[in-house]
Structure 1
């Protein structure tokens, strides 16, 4: 599990970056502990129910009031939390500024679709992808200046490499950063936007050494929107912020504390990293049972991680110093199946995507995008 991270080391490392870079906890890694199913509340009453036998849909209802899913007929799903149905396995979600619609990336097809409850999905573009080795279309994020430029960035695996591409209205996807190594496995990647507007790019190790100098594989990159090193990187000439990733599933940034978290699957355990410049230290949290960590979201007092294999949402409560407080919660277990992508909307609702057609037990309306109330944040950290 590794030793404790010293505060002095934190100060020295953080001094390398400008505003917007992460802090890290004065603690060793924490392990997953089993929690009673249904414990806690999803943004207040009512408590998330476990699945129940099919029944008639309740009258009325709106997104954000959790309820047990109803029986779907074909692509029609009466569950009020379901936004979109009959998709291919979801690789990433980027919620649009209106909070009612989102762009959804299908991992294996490379399609980017605009979805909204009550409307058919609309094809925005198709990014050429090669989904072998866990790759495909696995990252999607709005431009930091989306309101002005309407640009979207995606992380994609091609036959030649892994890369970041830019999607503009009415245009074919254009490369921003190419040459990220691809290999027989661990080609997944993720995207995020740091609080200063830099793009964060988590890359898989492609089956190689994630610490290899000079390689962009197994790294957390920090770039500008043209693919150049972002100001404030440890090495001004390098794209690399941190190193040591294997098969990252998601990046999530707390906009208030500026802490950056990355989920990763190491082969021996699943982990959650709090990002620091340079080689990543011991994980902040570990799951020895490897539940399949994927996308994540963060806000003060909350880090929520979509679990694919465990078909649930795992919730941790970090304090201001990133030390976890209270007991972790495991929610939505088997309610919607295998969860993958996760994203916050401007109105505070949590969007999730499923991958039930990829190794799960799909219902007629799978794969789906869901919009729910987020779990409540935590309180003050322990001293």
Structure 2
């Protein structure tokens, strides 16, 4: 007769073998993705993370607890949402997070103002860039690749005669760096993560290789063509129509969002003609700024009034299922930028009169939140 000790030992051995056999979940190949809408939890309405995450990566390996109940509505320029950093701004077109991770520089598209914002502090005017708001206004903003030493900022602006890159020093007027770009729809500014050169996305869908319209330009901080550009000109890549955002991942890949003819797209930037879009939105939700945080590429959707999350894989592919987050939590999202602490900064453009715009009392706003985290094993 079996003893209880023997029977218990056999049961434990069988249980451990079963668990070991189930611990591995191999990828069974491609599958059709389904858009997952998140309205609670890690990025639900509204998100619940205000302070920087603990050591060990964004969130410290734990998701913040969801908040219950509807968010308190702002009154005047006061917003009780702990994720809101700044209120009562003009429509926000770009954000550049400062090294302290608690403050950022913000571009207002129509006014041309560059403001320093920080929660609990009134916005501070850094500079005003002359712009033609009807032609696109102030559309891009990045810190100098050597900001820690020179504290320079670069902006992309549409004027009455052209689109241009300007250099900004606090307390001084903007200085031209690259001028004569044809005015066209859209525009975005970035920094090549591998070389530190400035990247300028211009609109216009111009196939003329000599034209600076509809291109990704790659220049140094004095506006000169970067070494290695095809043909030795400022043009690095071509094939854009109405670019809205640029972002780079830790692997050195640069992405650009574009409102192309008949669809919105996401391109992986490569020299020469841009490759086929890495992602498309046939319903045209209004792609805007983008950011790569913690292995996740997020795209702000202006018309969709939400945040779209993809997980980059190898060679321009994506893994797992995409997610739609922050659905109508803050309205029309425009700018997106990563902070050095791993948090994600977003801007809104609810006062621009666009489709579906329903401004709140405190609009337009800048928000700082915990980004979605990487994961997922299936190939899209």
TM-score range normalised by the length of the shorter chain? 0.7 to 0.9
Say yes or no: does 1:373 pair with 2:370: yes
* Alpha-carbon contact 2:265-2:277 (below 8 Å) kept: yes
Residue of structure 2 in register with 1:106 after alignment: 108
Partner of 1:121: 123
In structure 2, stretches of 5+ residues that fail to align are: 1-30, 54-63
Matching residue of 2:181: 180
- Greater gyration radius: 2
Judge conservation of contact 1:320–1:380 (CA < 8 Å) in 2. no
- Is residue 225 of structure 2 the alignment partner of residue 223 of structure 1? no
1:190 maps to which of 188, 191, 208:
188
**In 2, Cα distance between the equivalents of 1:191 and 1:334?**
26
Corresponding position of 1:166: 167
Q: Deviations over 1:127-179 (max 9, x none)?
A: 0000114x100100000000110100000000000000000122100100000
Q: Is the 8 A contact 1:252 1:262 kept in 2?
A: yes
Tell me the C-alpha RMSD between the 2 structures: 2.3
**Matched residue, 1:212:** 208
Distance in 2, matches of 1:150 and 1:63, equals 23
**Cα distance in structure 1, aligned partners of 2:218 and 2:234:** 6
Task: Count how many residue pairs are aligned between Structure 1 and Structure 2.
Answer: 333
Partner residue, 2:263: 269
Q: Is the 8 A contact 1:63 1:371 kept in 2?
A: no
Once the two structures are superposed, the pairs formed by residues 1-383 of structure 1 within 5 Å of their partners are 35-38=35-38, 46-50=41-45, 62=51, 67=67, 69-133=71-135, 135-183=136-184, 186=185, 188-195=186-193, 196-205=195-204, 209-235=205-231, 237-255=232-250, 257-299=251-293, 301-359=295-353, 360-379=357-376, 382=379
| 1:319 positional shift | 1.0
Q: Write the distance in 2 (CA, Å) between the matches of 1:219 and 1:179.
A: 14
Contact 1:89 1:355 (C-alpha < 8 Å) held by counterparts: yes
Partners of 1:300 and 1:373 lie apart in 2 by: 10
Aligned twin of 1:20: none
Q: Answer whether contact 1:62 1:80 (CA < 8 A) is retained.
A: no
Q: Give the TM-score normalised by structure 2.
A: 0.83
1:51 is displaced (CA, Å) by 6.6
Cα distance in structure 2, aligned partners of 1:37 and 1:323: 21
Q: Determine if contact 2:97/2:337 at 8 Å carries over to the other structure.
A: yes
3-state SS of 1:148 partner: helix
- Between the aligned partners of 1:275 and 1:36, the Cα distance in structure 2 is 27
What SS does the corresponding residue of 1:132 show, helix, strand or coil? helix
Matched residue SS, 2:149? helix
What is the CA–CA distance in structure 2 between the aligned matches of 1:90 and 1:339, rounded to whole Å? 9
Q: Aligned partners of 1:300 and 1:318: how far apart in 2?
A: 11
**Deviation (angstroms), 1:269:** 0.3
Are the counterparts in 1 of residues 131 and 137 from structure 2 also a CA contact under 8 Å?
yes
CA contact (8 A) 2:293 2:371 kept: no
Report if the CA contact (8 A) 2:293-2:338 is conserved: no
More helix by share: 2
C-alpha distance in structure 1 between counterparts of 2:331 and 2:340, whole Å: 25
- What are structure 1's unaligned runs of at least 5 residues? 1-29, 53-57
SS in 2 for 1:328: strand
1:114 to 1:328, Cα distance in 2 relative to 1, 3 A = same
Q: In structure 2, what is the Cα distance between the partners aligned to 1:277 and 1:349?
A: 30
